[in-house]
């Protein structure tokens, strides 16, 4: 799996990774809009849980950056 991802990343330009992130963001917004079950699942949680998960997932990135 790691070899496959590395091979795919070598084909990409520097701006493709942020573009992929934007695609995933808007795809999620699309799902929230058109699929009531997904909307109910996402909106069931309080906003601070998303903030906590974001900070936890960002910690390794922040360690590499600073």
Total of domains in the chain: 1
Three-state SS sequence of 23-46:
HHHHHHHHHHHHCHHHHHHHHCCC
**Residue 17 binned pLDDT confidence (cut-offs 50, 70, 90):** confident
CA–CA gap between residue 18 and residue 14 (Å, rounded): 8
CA–CA gap between residue 66 and residue 54 (Å, rounded): 18
Provide the domain limits for residue 56: 2-65
pLDDT in tens, 21-39: 999 999 999 999 999 999 9
**Residue 53 binned pLDDT confidence (cut-offs 50, 70, 90):** very high
CA–CA gap between residue 50 and residue 56 (Å, rounded): 10
């Amino acid at each position: 799996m790691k070899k496959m991802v590395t091979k795919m990343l070598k084909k990409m330009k520097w701006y493709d990774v942020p573009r992929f992130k934007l695609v995933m963001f808007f795809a999620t917004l699309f799902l929230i809009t058109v699929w009531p079950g997904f909307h109910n699942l996402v909106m069931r949680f309080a906003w601070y849980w998303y903030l906590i998960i974001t900070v936890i997932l960002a910690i390794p990135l922040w360690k590499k950056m600073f």
